[in-house]
Chains A and B, each alone.
Chain A
Amino acid sequence: MSVKLQVRGVTMRYAGPPPVQVLEPIDLEVADGEFICVLGPSGCGKSTLLQIIAGFHAPSAGTVTIDGKAVTGPDPRRIFVFQERGVFPWLSVTDNIAFGLAALPPAERAERVKHYVELVGLRGFERAFPHELSGGMKQRVEVARALAVDPDMLFLDEPFGALDSMTRLTMRSELLRIWQAAKTTILFVTHDVEESVQLADRVVVMSARPAKIQRIVDIDIPRPRDISAPRYLELRDGILAEIGLAHAI
């Protein structure tokens, strides 16, 4: 597979005072179509890394290259799904999903919106406003809005963190289904070990701040994954041990 994303020596340091080193030099290569989970403790700087890759912040040093070109800013081909709700409260579900489609002729736009409304299971809520929706539904609106522009990369920053555990499980399998259908490259930031092992092709394990890559774990379990299979438990426990957490409570 060809290389989609290259991160070379990326660091982040806030001048302060006091100066804060958020990221130690990060090197990472991601193949086209890969599903990568970036796993680390809360506040370690993994969100910062994701925002740098998405082009929202310039790194203090190092380069980010996507498809062989240096990243200089955000790009509609690569959509960021925000941890805080990024849906626009003044737009209906339909208009939110259509936000990035202004250039399309109306008929095609309506067609596209309809498709993604169904994909994320929001049929019947097309005309609802965000304040009438649950947290999980708002999150799905945001994912649909991102997918509607047919991006070739998705950045997801703890997208399911605020959802209840049942919705979270559903959303995970939804995301995998969408990813397999759309062949998108996904960078998914999470602090949930189980989540990362369920979803990713590879898990990038980050240390506490200043964050550096501690280890990259290949999740060599075929999909759909049996989350009680010995190999799953082995990988999960390996990562838990890696970040210094015993799995007995």
Chain B
Amino acid sequence: MRALGELAASGLLVRYAVASLFRVTWGFLLAVVVGIPLGLALGWYGRAGRALGPTLQFLRPISPLAWIPLAILWFGVGDRSAIFLIFIATVLPLALTAMQAAHNVHHVHVAAARNFGLSGFAIVRRVILPSALPQLIGGMRIALGIAWLVVVAAEMIAVTSGLGFLIVDARNAGDRYDLVVAGMIAIGVIGLLLDSTLRVFERRRYA
């Protein structure tokens, strides 16, 4: 508790939390923008999905942390490496969820929409997207959780700020285990807040 107070007073807690959130936001948003349209398209055009599906399934069991050396090689030590790692960790689960969601769209709904003269993008916007949305939000909740896990690990190695760095630094700088625990508590609280934010959306859809 005193350690948390000390961190807060020095402004470090807020600065590091903001640094971590900044990376998570960018990595996660990039993954949403890339993964969800990709997954929906793959799920919708069955043949493309079957062609690319095995590749996705092959990449999935590779721990995002295994990408750390490549990330540093490509992007150097800094924000971009961490963002890349979060992107890699979340884009696959998002794409797979979106694929499944598009696959689950009821064919009767699509047929009805076609009957009313809709085609192409209008069907995506007015049928596939709303029909898939509950599943997509569920997938985003899980992916955001993963992003928050990965950012801490990435910060321990690839950057010199953020909550993950705080933990490693506190230990290296003189076994300040009170600061380590304070960092862990901060991570837990922020993770909980992130999840509740998306859960509000989820509940609003089902209401």
Say whether A56 faces chain B, with CB atoms less than 8 Å apart: yes
Contacts A86-B108, A88-B109 given: A80-B115 contact, CB under 8 Å? yes
- Cβ of B117 and Cβ of A90 under 8 Å apart? no
> Within 8 Å CB of B117, what residues of A?
75-76, 100
Complex: A75 Cα to B116 Cα, angstroms: 7
Contacts A76-B117, A99-B116, A100-B117 given: A88-B111 contact, CB under 8 Å? no
Is the contact region of chain A dominated by helix, strand, or loop, or is it mixed? loop
The one of A54, A82, A91, A149 that contacts B116, using a Cβ cutoff of 8 Å? A149
Q: How many A-B residue pairs have CB under 8 A?
A: 45
- Cβ of A90 and Cβ of B130 under 8 Å apart? yes
Complex: A116 Cα to B86 Cα, angstroms: 50
Say whether A79 faces chain B, with CB atoms less than 8 Å apart: yes
Interface of chain A residues 79 through 97 with chain B (CB within 8 A) = 79-80, 82, 84-86, 88-91
> Within 8 Å CB of A91, what residues of B?
130
Say whether B133 faces chain A, with CB atoms less than 8 Å apart: yes
Count B interface residues, CB 8 Å: 16
- Cβ of B130 and Cβ of A82 under 8 Å apart? no
Contacts A82-B108, A84-B108 given: A90-B115 contact, CB under 8 Å? no
CB distance from B190 to the nearest CB of A (A): 31
- Cβ of A76 and Cβ of B112 under 8 Å apart? no
CB distance from B207 to the nearest CB of A (A): 9
Say whether A136 faces chain B, with CB atoms less than 8 Å apart: no
> Within 8 Å CB of B157, what residues of A?
none
> Within 8 Å CB of A73, what residues of B?
114
Complex: A99 Cα to B205 Cα, angstroms: 19
- Cβ of B131 and Cβ of A54 under 8 Å apart? no
The contact size tier of chain A is: 20 to 34
- Cβ of B116 and Cβ of A76 under 8 Å apart? yes
- Cβ of B111 and Cβ of A56 under 8 Å apart? yes
- Cβ of B130 and Cβ of A76 under 8 Å apart? no
> Within 8 Å CB of B106, what residues of A?
84
CB distance from B127 to the nearest CB of A (A): 7
CB distance from B204 to the nearest CB of A (A): 12
Say whether A238 faces chain B, with CB atoms less than 8 Å apart: no
Contacts A88-B127, A100-B117 given: A82-B133 contact, CB under 8 Å? no
- Cβ of A79 and Cβ of B115 under 8 Å apart? yes
CB distance from A123 to the nearest CB of B (A): 23
Most-contacted residue by chain A among B109, B112, B130, B131 (CB, 10 A): B112
- Cβ of A76 and Cβ of B115 under 8 Å apart? yes
The one of B111, B126, B133 that contacts A74, using a Cβ cutoff of 8 Å? B111
Chain A proximity mask over B120-151: 1 for CB below 8 Å, otherwise 0: 00000011001101000000000000000000
CB distance from B159 to the nearest CB of A (A): 41
Complex: A85 Cα to B106 Cα, angstroms: 10
- Cβ of A82 and Cβ of B112 under 8 Å apart? yes
- Cβ of B131 and Cβ of A80 under 8 Å apart? no
Complex: A56 Cα to B127 Cα, angstroms: 18
> Within 8 Å CB of B116, what residues of A?
76, 79, 99-100, 149
A-B contact pairs, 12 of them (CB 8 A): A54-B115, A56-B114, A74-B114, A75-B117, A79-B115, A80-B112, A82-B112, A88-B112, A90-B205, A99-B116, A100-B117, A149-B116
